[in-house]
């Protein structure tokens, strides 16, 4: 599904709109530092409902956090070599 999102021409517009939201950085930090630790399998719908944020914002937050996790894992595996 992630690759599908990134291929959709509207994805970049959604990301740009979400990044313009005043509370986006705070929501993302809270999700990254608290919610994903307590609820690692949280869905987009659950996040949207729990924080009372738009579904699009929840999609972008979870997508970016997952990308950051993958990048950290890659960097750690390169350090081990």
Q: Taking the domains of the chain in order of start, what are their residue ranges?
A: 2-80
Contacts with 46 (C-beta within 8 Å, 6 or more apart), sequence order: 39
Largest CA distance in the chain: 43
Please check the confidence at residue 4 and state whether its pLDDT lies above 90: no
Return the structure tokens found at 57: 């914002």
Task: Render pLDDT for 48-69 as a digit per residue (tens, 0 to 9).
Answer: 999 999 999 999 999 999 999 9
Q: How many CA atoms lie less than 13 Å away from 28 in the CB half-sphere?
A: 21
Q: Whole-structure pTM over 0.75, yes or no?
A: yes
Please check the confidence at residue 17 and state whether its pLDDT lies above 90: yes
Ramachandran angles phi, psi of 63, nearest 5°: -65, -45
């Amino acid at each position: 599904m992630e690759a599908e999102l990134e291929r959709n021409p509207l994805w970049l517009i959604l990301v740009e709109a979400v990044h313009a939201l005043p509370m986006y950085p705070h929501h993302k930090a809270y999700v990254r530092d608290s919610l994903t630790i307590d609820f690692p399998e949280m869905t987009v719908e659950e996040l949207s409902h729990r924080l009372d944020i738009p579904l699009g914002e929840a999609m972008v937050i979870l997508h970016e956090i997952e990308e950051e996790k993958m990048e950290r894992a890659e960097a750690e595996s390169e350090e081990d070599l």
